[in-house]
Amino acid sequence: MNSLQLLSAVYKFGIGCGIFTIKETIEFFDKVIEELDNPPYEIIEVAMMSKAKIDDIEDKLWEYHGAVDNEYVLKVALSLISKKYIQKEIDIKHAIRCTERLLIHTGFSFEDEYYGLYYLDDAYHLAENHIHHDLRDVVNSFEDNISKYDSYYKDYEEAVNEVIKQR
């Protein structure tokens, strides 16, 4: 999988679960188009989809990247959630909800490695409403579990740097 395929897959998963907005996705692929001599047609189409539904954008990104290692892309996407949470770009509730959606969307929600993250959406809701669990324990559990994927953020950065040359 080349860097642009990785980024297409990460943005496909990311827009679907709420890591990225349509606007962020369009802006990113606009930059990609500016940098590439011959950008793939699917990427050009994505950049023109500001009024499209998320599902349509996901489909177009899939048309470009095709079959990829979904678990690897999932780990890169989890690293982005962690990074955005650490940098306070998203709050804990949004981070947990994105994580749950991502795991459902990719089909990894009941895999042993990810189950600790998957159940946290319900745990957070119960703790927030003072029904069950301590909110701080849920937050600590999220932070401990999501931090396992922080090392994959470098793969995202390297892919971005390869596709979008830093000036």
pLDDT at 90 over 70: yes
**Could you tell me if 139 and 159 lie in one domain?**
no
Residue 81 domain-assigned (yes or no): no
pLDDT average, residue stretch 50-65: 92
Distance (Å, rounded) from C-alpha 129 to C-alpha 156? 36
Q: Indicate if 121 and 91 belong to the same structural domain.
A: yes
Number of domains in the chain: 2
Residues 4 and 160 sit within 8 Å (Cβ to Cβ): no
Q: Is 88 exposed, middle or buried (0-12, 13-18, 19+ CB in 10 A)?
A: exposed
Read off the pLDDT band of 167 (50, 70, 90): very low
Same domain (yes/no): 62, 93: no
> Would you give the DSSP letter of residue 161?
H
Residue 166 in this model has a pLDDT that exceeds 70: no
Q: Is residue 76 part of a domain?
A: no
Residue (of 114, 3, 22) closest to 65 by Cα position: 3
Q: What is the pLDDT of residues 112-160, one digit of tens each?
A: 999 889 999 999 999 998 898 899 999 999 999 999 999 999 999 999 9
Write out the residue range of the structural domain in which residue 110 sits.
87-151
